[in-house]
Structures are given as structure tokens and as C-alpha cells.
Structure 1
Amino acid sequence: MGKDVVILKEGERICGTGGSIATVPIVQNKAYFQVTIQQTGTWGIGLGHKQTPLDDVPPKEQFWGIAENGDMICDGVVKMKLPKTVEEGDTVGVCYDHVELTFFINGVRCDDTLTGIKGPVYPMLYVDDSAILDVKFKNFSYDPPSGFGEILVEQTLL
């Protein structure tokens, strides 16, 4: 996590300034997680690499996701806008299948998707300007789409 980020509620809440990345990459074919906007400000929800700069808000590279203003960002480049504004109290679902990154707002799928994501990626959030985000990696508020599920932790048997 970034040097000015605060993680609370047993790793489920992020506030402060900067980014935070999950400890495990997405390895299965269809992964899902959810983020609830507890308080607005500057924020981003998506995927990043281990090398993504976590003190940059927003990250200028190695981040694929959405920002509080509706920008859909692909490696630092705004590709399109969300069709709907995400507001305080809304829940954003994130689906990733190693080809497309798709978002749901309060259980409703956004039509546009991001593609071109390369390498191992991790769930990533960033906050600034008093934003507070709560993340769920299981026990979701909205059911994931068919075939998608919680992020699995890869284990070695030997």
C-alpha cells in the first residue's frame, strides 16, 4: 500500500491518500470482487501490477479500472466514460476473465469493457480527498454474474 494509505476493518476499508493492492494475483479464469463507496472523494477501482506506483493518485501507469468521475482507464489512458455516475453508497462489482474487465453498478452491468490488460494483475484501489472505500472479496452484496466467483488463492501441493 501507499505510504499515506490507511487500511481498516480487517483489510476491508481503505482511506487516506494513495493506492493499495491485494496480496494475491487473479489466477482463475473468472474472478469477481465488490467495492462500496462509503464516502466520495477521489478514488479508483480496478486492477494493477505489483509495480504500480501506489503513491500516485491517480496512477499514471499500470492501472486498469474506473475513477470517481466515470473515466474508464487503461494503463493511464482514458478510453471511455461509464454510462452512469457512481455515487456515495453505490456498490461497484468488478469482473475479470483475463480478456475483459467489466464493471457492475449496484448489480447492473455497464456495457463498455476494458481490454488489453497484460501480465499478472491484482485487485487495486486508490483514494484521496476524503474518499472511503469498502472492499469485499467474498460474501457479496450483489451476486456475481454466472461463472464468476471470489478470487482464489493459488496453493502449492508439494
Structure 2
Amino acid sequence: MGSDVVLLKNGTRICGTGAALATAPIVQSKAYFQINIQQSGVWGVGVANRKANLSKVPVIDRAWLLRNDGKVVANGEEIGHISIPFEEGDSIGVAFDHVELKFYKGGELLPVSITNVREQVFPIIYVDDSAIIDVKFSSFSLIPPPGYQEIMIEQTLL
């Protein structure tokens, strides 16, 4: 995580300035996680690889994100914009199937998705400007899309 990020509530709440990367990569074919906007500000959610700069907001390189301003960004390049506003109390779902990264607001699919994420990636959330975001990797308040489930932790038998 970035040097000015604060994780609270057993690592499920992020505040401060910077980004946090989940400790487990997405390895299964259809993974889902969710954020809840507790306090407005600058934020982004999506996936990134280990080389993403977690101390700089917004995260640009090596990340595929939905931002608080509605921009959908793939590795630093804006590929679309969602005109629906995001507010305190909103729940945003993130669904990734190694082909497409999709975003949901309140259970409704948003119109812009990201394709061609071809690397090992981890969930990422960044915050700034007083944003407070809660993340859920299980026990979702929204129903995941059909076939998607919580992120599985890869285990080795040896």
C-alpha cells in the first residue's frame, strides 16, 4: 500500500492518500468484489499489477480502473466515461473474468467495460481528498453477476 494510506476495520476500510493492492491475485475465471462509498472524495477501483505506483493518486500505469469522476481508464488511457454520478452510500461491484473488467452500481451493469487485461492482477482501491471506501471480498450487499464469486485464495499442496 501507499505510504499515506490508512487501512482500518481489519483492512476493509481505506482512507488517507494513496492506494492499496489486495494481497491475493485474481486466479479464478470469474471473480467479484465490491466497494461501498462511505465518504465522497477522490477514489478509484479496479485491478492492477504489482508494478503500479501505490503512492501517487490517481494511479495511472499498470492499472485498469473506474474513477470517482466516471472515467474508465486502462493503463493510463481513458477509454470511456460513465455519466451516472457516484455518491456517498453507493455500492460499486467489480467483476473480472480475465477477458473483461465490468463495473456495477447498485447491481446495475455500467455501460463501459475494459477488455484486454492480460496480466496477473490484484484488486486495487485508491483514495484522496477525504474519501473513505469500504471494500468487501465476501458477504456482499449486492448479488454478484451470474457465475461470479468471491476471490479465491490460491493454495499450494506442496
Q: TM-score range by the shorter chain?
A: over 0.9
Deviations 1:54-82 (A, max 9, x none): 01100121110111100000001111011
Aligned to 2:48: 48
Distance 1:112 1:5 in 2: 28
Q: Which runs of 4+ in 1 moved over 6 A?
A: none
User: 2:113 is paired with a residue of what secondary structure?
Assistant: strand
Residue of structure 2 in register with 1:66 after alignment? 66
> Corresponding residue for 1:107?
107
CA distance in 2 between counterparts of 1:92 and 1:135 reads 10
2:84 and 2:131 map into 1 onto residues whose CA distance is 19
Residue 135 in 1 paired to residue 138 in 2?
Answer: no
Q: Which residue is equivalent to 2:96? A: 96
Q: For 1:47 and 1:121, how far apart are their aligned partners in 2?
A: 6
Equivalent position of 2:116 in the other structure: 116
What SS class does the counterpart of residue 112 from structure 1 fall into? coil
User: Aligned partners of 1:61 and 1:108: how far apart in 2?
Assistant: 28
Question: May I ask how many residue pairs the two structures share in their alignment?
Answer: 158
TM-score (norm 2): 0.98
* TM-score relative to the length of structure 1: 0.98
Give the deviation of 1:85 after TM superposition: 1.4
Cα separation, 1, equivalents of 2:59 and 2:34: 20
Counterpart for residue 156 of structure 2: 156
| Residue 83 (structure 1) shift | 3.9
* Counterpart secondary structure, 2:150: coil
Paired residues of 1:73 and 1:80 also in contact (CA < 8 A):
yes
1:83 touches 1:110 (CA, 8 Å); kept in 2?
no
Aligned twin of 1:125? 125
